[in-house]
Amino acid sequence: MPKKKTIGFSSPDGTNPVYNVSEIFYSVQGEGLLQGLPMVFIRLSGCNLNCSFCDTKYALKKGKETDLKKILRELKRHKCKRVCITGGEPFLQNLAPLVKTLKEKKYWIAAETNGTLWQNLHIDWLTVSPKREGLKFRPRGYDKRFMKAASEFKYVITSAGDIGFIDSSIKKPVVLQPVDNKIAIAKEIIRSLKKNAGENRFLRLQMHKITGIK
């Protein structure tokens, strides 16, 4: 079982949690079933996996320690009430104070996790993206409690063999995302989808890479 770090620690007076933040930026969601929705991304630093295909390796490094008040000021600047907490692996940090405060401020909250670390959070849209590297921590690569909590599951497909890694017992929508938008892999996914048309699976490319936006 992976060790859970409590990076979301409190300030001396206990009222202003500090997070290790890689970046905060305003864009549209480029992946999954929420593609195209404008939102502010809070990308937290650090990850407990080291996937070869990771496209945000810069977020694995230690980011900037940023207290909750500074995060809120940055969010307010963008004037958007949708937030996505991502990484890295955001569930390495104690998200409860951040999520609680965002809900109090009337934000709609999405988050993405690899599923190896469980936190019971009141999130509006939760994307669980199991990875093969997660098998060293959890059967099928993710904590089974996410089976109920997830809004969608997302699998990065690097070859046709990865389709067999998908947990067929998942009832929630399952997004299949070809690594680096590779067309050959997308065609493999399409063949699989056509053979199993009754399943809850969807092909999605990374829209932000196609359009060249962040």
Backbone angles phi, psi at 104, to 5 degrees: -60, -30
Answer yes or no: is 172 within a domain: no
Per the structure, how many domains does the chain have?
1
214 within domain boundaries = no
Asked if residue 6 belongs to a domain, the reply is no
Both structure tokens of 25? 């930026």
**pLDDT averaged per 10 residues in sequence order, the chain, 214 residues:** 48 76 97 97 97 94 95 96 98 97 97 98 98 96 98 97 95 97 97 91 95 88
Q: What is the CATH number of the domain that holds 123?
A: 3.20.20.70
Helix (H, G, I), strand (E, B) or coil at 70: helix
The boundaries of the domain holding residue 28 are: 18-156
Is the residue at 59 inside a domain?
yes
CB 44 within 8 A of CB 88: yes
Residue 200 lies in a domain: no
The two tokens of residue 51 are: 């996937």
Domain membership flag for residue 152:
yes
Place of tokens 């809850």: 200
Q: Global pTM?
A: 0.92
Give the per-residue pLDDT at 123: 97
On whether residue 126 sits in a domain, the answer given is yes
Whether 162 is in a domain gets the answer: no
3 state SS of 31: coil
Contact call for residues 123 and 146 (beta carbons, < 8 A): no
* CB contact at 8 A, 120 and 100: no
